[in-house]
Chains A and B, each alone.
Chain A
Amino acid sequence: MLPLSGERHDAKGIVSEKINSIDILRGSSVLKRGFAHMLKNGVVMDVTTVEQAQIAEEAGAVSVMVLDKLPSDVRKAGGVARTASIRIIEDIMDSVTIPVMAKCRIGHVNEALVLQETDVDMIDESEVLTPADELHHIWKWDFTTPVVNGARSLAEALRRIEEGAAMIRTKGEPGTGNVAEAITHIKKVNDELRTIKAIYDSGDNQDLVRMAREFKVSYDIVEQTAKLGRLPVVNFAAGGIATPADAAYLMSLGCDGIFVGSGIFNADDAKERARAIVLATTFWNESDKVKEAQKMIDERQSMLGLDVNTLELRMQERGGSS
């Protein structure tokens, strides 16, 4: 059984229909959150071509995320970053058996609808692309396709879940090859989960009300999350992961799995690195295996990292205030 805290039974994304007079239901929270549960302990890899998607699948990725440009190239290119070409997404869907995700801009309802029509397996409402609406995220309960969102804190995560996100990932700082921000974000979420759990265990309801106001979410979602002691949806690490050791460390901090953006296909040893990051994610608690994985990559071929303190564009701040 899986937690369904915050579930809305009246969501427009839930479709009742008949197949040969048999009643079926699509787009329910069990199906959307359940899909994310199937990805646990796995690696989702950013790809821009069919060839990269096939390399990812052969390496053991649980899913691929299709972009027009890898996050680090989005940084270099500047301008407005939008959802990927539909034709490329469809070509990739036709050539791999694993689930295919694609990104849409924060708040861009129709970009998300286009992706839903394309039949992608999950939509990432992502800060890597240029936000379309600074004040509102997409109301994800209207979608039959599950949506994943980034978060830097428990407050952001719960706000996205109340909007219907079926999965959460850390924001980290995309396209930097620098894992520091992802580590900060997961530690902050874990810290805040411990805090509300302690309040819940103490029975101080008034203090939980205070937390709900501070987080700008309902009391119910805070109470249910506090009771669980974890997010009611799957929580992955993302943003700046470049090496097997990065992946293993984030798994050890309690992440359910890993997204790798530019770290693989902007490295010169993409094939080996893809495999090595999968191995380190699966066997993160066996240090000899993580070492073997780390040995498969060459640090001289890692993408050149960026110092997050001197960045002109901090993608993680996009959509953070709403």
Chain B
Amino acid sequence: MSLNVGILSIQGDVQENLLSTRDALNELGIDGKVTDVKTPEEISQLDGLIIPGGESTTIGQLSLVNGSMKVLKEKIENGMPVLGICAGMIMLSKTANDRVVGKTDQPLLGILDIKLERNSFGRQPESFESNISMTSIDIPKFNGVFIRAPSISDVGSDIEVISKFNERIVAVKKGNVIATAFHPELTTDISLHKYFVNLVNTSKN
């Protein structure tokens, strides 16, 4: 059956994820559509969702305002595959502390039991690119683009660590939920988007 994949378009780099996901569907030869979604009605129709990079405080507050936060949480808890990127990883976490400011009381989805630090590598001048690997999901080499990225220092027993950079956890998986601190959509490598599309396909069919 045809897949319906959405990119949460409250705020952030929606377009880049649309392009990477469309390319992934094409390369895999899987029938489906990719659209930007914002309203609870649009989200409720989805088979899979990407929460893109952006500002997690903004995305959290505004998805609370229009009721999409509630639908999102229900869908994810009922098994819908989701890929959270940077701000999306923060959104999926239970608690988020900022490296400088400390505890934040921003709205979160609270799906992943992880100890997360925002802006963990520093401010924008410290943003970096580096090779990372995600061997457990068959992506041995990947260009990690980290922009004011978060990192994870500890995970609950139900969380699988997919990738580390300099001893810090930068990608995790729990069932159908994947979260990365780096931005696959800013590179030309669509292997992670392909992995996610396959996950959505398996989950639906």
Q: Which residues of A contact B (CB under 8 A)?
A: 1-2, 19-20, 22-28, 30-31, 34-35, 37-42, 57, 60-63, 93-100, 116, 119-122, 144-146, 278-279, 282-283, 289
* A97 lies within 8 A of B104 (CB): yes
Q: Select B128's contact among A2, A26, A289, beta carbons within 8 Å.
A: A26
Q: Select B11's contact among A19, A42, A100, beta carbons within 8 Å.
A: A42
In the assembly, what is the distance between CA of A28 and CA of B53, in Å?
18
In the assembly, what is the distance between CA of A156 and CA of B109, in Å?
43
- In whole Å, how far is B194's beta carbon from the nearest beta carbon of chain A? 14
* Contact sample, A vs B, 13 pairs, CB 8 Å cutoff: A23-B131, A25-B128, A26-B125, A30-B186, A31-B128, A34-B13, A41-B54, A62-B55, A63-B55, A279-B62, A282-B10, A283-B38, A283-B66
Q: Select A35's contact among B118, B147, B187, beta carbons within 8 Å.
A: B147
In the assembly, what is the distance between CA of A95 and CA of B102, in Å?
10
* A35 lies within 8 A of B62 (CB): no
- Asked if B95 lies at the interface with its beta carbon under 8 angstroms from chain A, I say no
* A94 lies within 8 A of B147 (CB): no
- In whole Å, how far is B35's beta carbon from the nearest beta carbon of chain A? 14
In the assembly, what is the distance between CA of A120 and CA of B12, in Å?
20
Contacts of B55 in A (CB 8 A): 38-39, 42, 62-63, 98-99
* B13 lies within 8 A of A1 (CB): no
Which residue of B has the minimal Cβ distance to A283? B66
Q: In chain B, residues 106-154, which have Cβ atoms closer than 8 Å to a Cβ of chain A?
A: 118-119, 122-131, 145, 147-148
Total A-B pairs, Cβ < 8 A: 142
- In whole Å, how far is A212's beta carbon from the nearest beta carbon of chain B? 27
Q: Which residues of B contact A (CB under 8 A)?
A: 9-16, 19-20, 38, 53-55, 57-58, 61-62, 65-66, 86-87, 98, 100-101, 104, 118-119, 122-131, 145, 147-148, 165-166, 183, 185-188
Q: Select A22's contact among B100, B101, B165, beta carbons within 8 Å.
A: B165
Known: A1-B186, A34-B183. A61 touches B58 (CB 8 A): yes
In the assembly, what is the distance between CA of A34 and CA of B14, in Å?
12
Contacts of A20 in B (CB 8 A): 166
- In whole Å, how far is B9's beta carbon from the nearest beta carbon of chain A? 7
Q: Select B187's contact among A30, A100, A121, A283, beta carbons within 8 Å.
A: A30
Known: A19-B166, A35-B147. A98 touches B124 (CB 8 A): no
Q: Select B125's contact among A19, A63, A144, A283, beta carbons within 8 Å.
A: A144
* B53 lies within 8 A of A38 (CB): yes
Which residue of A has the minimal Cβ distance to B126? A26
Given contacts A94-B100, A145-B125, 19 further A-B contacts (CB under 8 A): A1-B16, A19-B130, A22-B165, A30-B187, A31-B124, A31-B128, A35-B124, A38-B13, A38-B54, A42-B11, A62-B11, A97-B104, A97-B119, A98-B57, A99-B148, A120-B123, A120-B124, A279-B62, A283-B38
Contacts of A57 in B (CB 8 A): 57
* B123 lies within 8 A of A30 (CB): no
Residue of A28, A31, A57, A283 ringed by the most chain B CB atoms within 10 A: A31
In the assembly, what is the distance between CA of A228 and CA of B40, in Å?
32
- In whole Å, how far is B32's beta carbon from the nearest beta carbon of chain A? 20
Which residue of A has the minimal Cβ distance to B97? A97
